[in-house]
Amino acid sequence: MHPRRPIVRLALAGLLIPASALAVRGQATSPPAAGPTSAAPASAQPPAPGPAPAAVPAVLRANANLVLVDVVVTDRDHPAHGLDRSRFHIFEDGREQPIASFDEHNPAAPAAAAKKPAAKPAALPPHTYTNVSPYPEATAVNVLLLDGLNTPMANQIDVRRKMIQFLGRIEPGTSLAIFTLSSRLRLVEGFTTDASELTKALQGPKAAPQPSVVLDPQTDQAVDSVIGDMANMSAGADPLSVGGTSALSALQQFQADIAAFQTDRRVRMTLEAMQQLARYLSGIPGRKNLIWFSGSFPIALDPDDSLDNPFEAMRSYSDDIRETAELLSAARVAVYPVDARGLMTLPSLDASYSPSTNLMGASVNGGRGGSRRAATANKPSAARDDLNAMKQMMDEQASMKQIAEQTGGQEYIYTNGLKEAVASVVENGSSYYSIGYVPSALELDGQFRKIQVRIDGHDYKLGYRHGYYADPPDKPSPHNPGQTSLIVAATLHGAPPSTQILFQARLLAASDPLLLGAKLPAGPAGELTPALKVPLHRLIVDLNVDPHGLIYDTTPDGAQHSQIEFLLVAYDADGQRINYLDSGFQMNMKAGQYARTMASGIPIRLPLDLPAGQFSLRIAVHDLTAGRAGSLEVPVTVAAN
């Protein structure tokens, strides 16, 4: 990775500022190229002139640390309505807290929802885009995540079929968005209440089942068989022993290392996708129900006493899951994991079962059960394989339970009723109570604080976030996962937009009449410009950033200080990076400048050179102080003169 571009100090004067006039040239962070996706091309003509992007609405900020907790209350698996505020009690670290705000949210009746028109994006000037996500007005919105990374192919096909059946009977007015996860997270269909559009999206190529890039049960079984054959041939004495190291032991250690590496990749890629979803959904008000169809991943890899180095492949992902769950909870996202494998049977009961020849009983799909192997080595192969499969399944479902519990969702396991599970999530997750309180412990010390909710008079089942990190809002959180790769994630081709920082972007060709006479940046615009094939055409991107999404430090002289990074990354139709620009700024605003900026936004002009053709332009704004990002991807057509 290249070093970042030096930061340039900038005093805002309320004018449009050419970035190249201030940026110091040098190497910048290079976002990696990603796999190909398709993007609808823009008009073949250069963008028409239009008004400057308007500032997005201001966000009210208060100094009080109000903690908001969404509570789903069910009685015999059905929502409990009409509960009085006086019956609720909320505790932080065991101390009851006075309730400052209380609201009950119920979904609109189906008849009323059916009459309500679907939400439409706000009208924007020509060639102007925004990362403010359009969403239906509802008590809660629902997100369907089809996880192909952790799910066998056959189960993916079954999930898609049952979800199409579910959409055929979905309640009118139910808002839903669809994402898939394979090698990366993809947005298949944005929020809509149109069931026909959702069905069409599920039947399309973007939602098609794909083999996992890390699950390879055939290879696992083949290696398992080789280990078993070697063990049988050695019959207690290994003729291939070299230097005191058994070839069989070495192969077993190699298999354990590969399995641990694959699991590490699965966990990292899955949690990064969850973090991307949290940043995408953070700009949408209200509760979000994330329905995660997956085979999941183990919460830990235990020590394996059958290996020469039993602790080498040991892993624990509990802390990573908790920090990701906190990021989701902060965005009011409740995760509802659904085991896409349905009601599973023991391997020995499957008609296609054949006993493992590995005396150590390696488990399938790259999972490692640890010391259970030594304990089952002398058992019959069928019993050994069943025990290993049960242990692996319990480890994987434990991660589902943890992330569901910590975000206020619910796991659905040991069931073939996949569409019934989704219907239950939509019904229960749209009926909830919002409780707000100001903690009696005012110090923001970064510690994890436990939350507990109780209701008088009945034994209800409650779902809510079980804690939060008391991090200062004006400083970057050490518990915010993925900060080192935040800007890389924000600039990935095809990734969902991030809405932690909101902005508008207007795209104009430098030759557009609206820019006639304007002082435009001179010299090459983009780090890869010298390598591009001429003739080149200059694209001008005018940004207007909502300043309320940034964090400011107050300097001794009373000025407000912030550090921002702006990035443009252009990708071709194959997902290859064509050119990019990375500019960093420091803002120092006196009281008057700060007030004007809060009212009108932060205007920035960025240039980028491109050859003729069709591209996808990724635009990102990164608050270096807070570790937050906003991003957007738009189609661009550069016409040859």
Please list, in sequence order, all residues whose beta carbon lies within 8 angstroms of the beta carbon of residue 82, skipping any fewer than 6 positions away.
Answer: 104
Same domain, 550 and 577: yes
- Return the top range by mean pLDDT from 41-55, 88-102, 141-155, 420-434: 88-102
Same domain, 624 and 510: yes
Q: Is residue 129 domain-resident? A: no
Q: Are 324 and 271 in contact (CB under 8 A)?
A: yes
Residue range 197-204: average pLDDT?
91
pLDDT of residue 632: 92
Same domain, 359 and 450: no
If one compares 451 and 124, the residue with the highest pLDDT of the two is 451
**Side-chain half-sphere exposure of 507, counting CA atoms within 13 A:** 27
User: What pLDDT band is residue 21 in, cutting at 50, 70 and 90?
Assistant: very low
For residue 229, which amino acid is it? D
**Encoded tokens for 538:** 């200059």
pLDDT of residue 146: 93
If one compares 93 and 228, the residue with the highest pLDDT of the two is 93
First to last CA, the chain: 36
Same domain, 374 and 508: no
User: What pLDDT band is residue 116 in, cutting at 50, 70 and 90?
Assistant: low
User: What pLDDT band is residue 63 in, cutting at 50, 70 and 90?
Assistant: very low
If one compares 56 and 462, the residue with the highest pLDDT of the two is 462
Same domain, 297 and 153: yes
Nearest Cα to Cα of residue 539 among 581, 487, 572: 581
Among the residue ranges 6-10, 67-71, 530-534, the one predicted with the least confidence is 6-10
Please, what is the Cα angle at 605 between 599 and 609, to 5 degrees?
160
Residues 489, 211, 219, 386, Cα dihedral to 10°: 100
What crossing angle do the helices spanning 381-407 and 318-330 adopt, rounded to 10°? Answer: 30
Among the residue ranges 15-19, 87-91, 307-311, 536-540, the one predicted with the least confidence is 15-19
Domain end marker among 420, 444, 469? 469
The total number of structural domains that make up the chain: 3
pLDDT in tens, 237-260: 544 454 444 666 666 666 677 777
Residue range 464-490: average pLDDT?
74
DSSP category for residue 483: G
Over pLDDT 90: what percentage of the chain?
A: 34
In the predicted model, is pLDDT for residue 235 greater than 70?
Answer: no
**Side-chain half-sphere exposure of 411, counting CA atoms within 13 A:** 20
Q: Is residue 235 domain-resident? A: no
Same domain, 275 and 212: yes
Question: Strands, DSSP E only, in 246-362?
Answer: 287-294, 300-301, 315-316, 333-339
For residue 40, which amino acid is it? A
Nearest Cα to Cα of residue 288 among 61, 135, 99, 119: 135
| Burial class of 221 by CB neighbour count within 10 A (0 to 12, 13 to 18, 19+) | middle
Residue range 172-200: average pLDDT?
87
If one compares 191 and 4, the residue with the highest pLDDT of the two is 191
**Encoded tokens for 356:** 């493992």
Q: Is residue 133 domain-resident? A: no
Residue range 508-528: average pLDDT?
89
Nearest Cα to Cα of residue 505 among 123, 59, 54, 191: 54
Same domain, 97 and 51: no
Residue range 272-294: average pLDDT?
88
If one compares 358 and 93, the residue with the highest pLDDT of the two is 93
If one compares 307 and 493, the residue with the highest pLDDT of the two is 493
Residues 180, 185, 191, 197, Cα dihedral to 10°: -40
Three-state DSSP state, 383: helix
Q: Are 47 and 29 in contact (CB under 8 A)?
A: no
Q: Is residue 581 domain-resident? A: yes
- Structural domain harbouring 441: 67-106+433-469
If one compares 98 and 341, the residue with the highest pLDDT of the two is 98
